[in-house]
Structure 1
Amino acid sequence: MSLKAQITEDMKTAMRAKDSVRLGTIRLLQAAMKQKEVDERVELDDAMVIAIVDKLIKQRKDSVAAYVSAQRQDLADIESAEMKVLEVYLPQRLSADEITAAVKAIVAEVGAAGPGDMGKVMGAVKAQLAGKADMGLVSAAVKSALAG
């Protein structure tokens, strides 16, 4: 079953269970997926859906940070709950050690010499690790690999 079909099934399950948080979050995800399909006139595959989920999770993380700094824990809790629902649709994340090993292999493969090659390395890394790793951790690993 494709990820898109799984999301639709999960929405039906959430409706039956009257799980309003889960249902609302899945509807937001489906709206973002539909928007992408309409804008780009494409049929979404699993990789594109994962990219959308990743983007929505990043938005939620930013919102949680903003709400916590504004001392609005009630709103931060809502965003955190939505983040938990969305994280179900991501593949298993790589650990920090796995990210470091993958980055070192890509740096050697690309032949990067120093910090000036950051863009070239990040392009290759994004192609291989998209959806599998937190890009903030990946960026830090690339910086340390190119610095040392």
Structure 2
Amino acid sequence: MGLKAQLRDDLTAAIKGRDELTKSTIRMALSAITAAEVAGDTARELDEPEVARVLTREAKKRAESAEAFDSAGRVELADKERAEAEVLARYLPKQLTDAEVDTLAEQAIAKVTADTGAAPGPRQMGLVMKAATAAAAGRADGSRVSAAVKARLIG
């Protein structure tokens, strides 16, 4: 079963179970997916990785909103945003730990070293990030990957 079909099934279950938080969050996610499908010149069906990217983007928005609400002293709204992010997290791949991100960065550096024949430095960060981001495949936030790569390239 695809991610989109899973969302629709869970929406039906949330409606039947009168789970307002899950219902509203899944509806928001499905509308974001639909908006991404009709964006551009022609409408098209998103594949699984694209749907996962949309859900990741929506979860990241919720985390950023919660942080903004916290800094503004709006704890009740921050809690709501965090709860929505938790609902979205059910549909996302398991996030990598910091140790796994570090290992991934080291592997990306080793790959770039093998490809170019020289140890990469700060100037080759783009090449290393490209390899590391591809390996992370949505399982780690780009800022975490970037920080791990920088730590290894710069020192």
Q: TM-score, normalised by structure 2?
A: 0.90
Residue number among 117, 142, 147 corresponding to 1:135 in the alignment: 142
CA contact (8 A) 2:112 2:120 kept: no
CA contact (8 A) 1:51 1:130 kept: no
Count of aligned pairs between the two proteins: 148
How far residue 141 of structure 1 moved from its aligned partner, in angstroms, is 0.4
Q: Does 1:124 align with 2:126?
A: no
How far residue 91 of structure 1 moved from its aligned partner, in angstroms, is 1.0
Residues 36-62 of structure 1 deviation map (CA, whole Å, 9 limit, x = unaligned): 111143321221111111111111111
Structure 1 residue aligned with 2:14: 14
Structure 2 residue aligned with 1:59: 61
Matches of 2:98 and 2:44, distance apart in 1:
34
How far residue 130 of structure 1 moved from its aligned partner, in angstroms, is 2.3
How far residue 90 of structure 1 moved from its aligned partner, in angstroms, is 0.8
How far residue 136 of structure 1 moved from its aligned partner, in angstroms, is 2.1
Stretches of structure 2 lacking an aligned partner (at least 5 in a row): 114-118
Identity of aligned residues (%): 41
| Alignment of structure 1 residues 64-143 onto 2, 5 Å | 64-111=66-113, 113-143=120-150
Q: Which runs of 4+ in 1 moved over 6 A?
A: none
Which protein has the larger Cα radius of gyration, Structure 1 or Structure 2?
Answer: 2
Q: 1 or 2 for the larger relative contact order (CA 8 Å, sep ≥6)?
A: 1
CA contact (8 A) 2:25 2:84 kept: yes
Stretches of structure 1 lacking an aligned partner (at least 5 in a row): none
Matches of 2:139 and 2:27, distance apart in 1:
23
Matches of 2:81 and 2:12, distance apart in 1:
22
Specify the SS of the correspondent of 2:39. Answer: helix
How far residue 94 of structure 1 moved from its aligned partner, in angstroms, is 1.3
Matches of 2:24 and 2:5, distance apart in 1:
17
Specify the SS of the correspondent of 1:18. Answer: coil
How far residue 134 of structure 1 moved from its aligned partner, in angstroms, is 2.4
Q: TM-score, normalised by structure 1?
A: 0.94
Matches of 1:90 and 1:35, distance apart in 2:
19
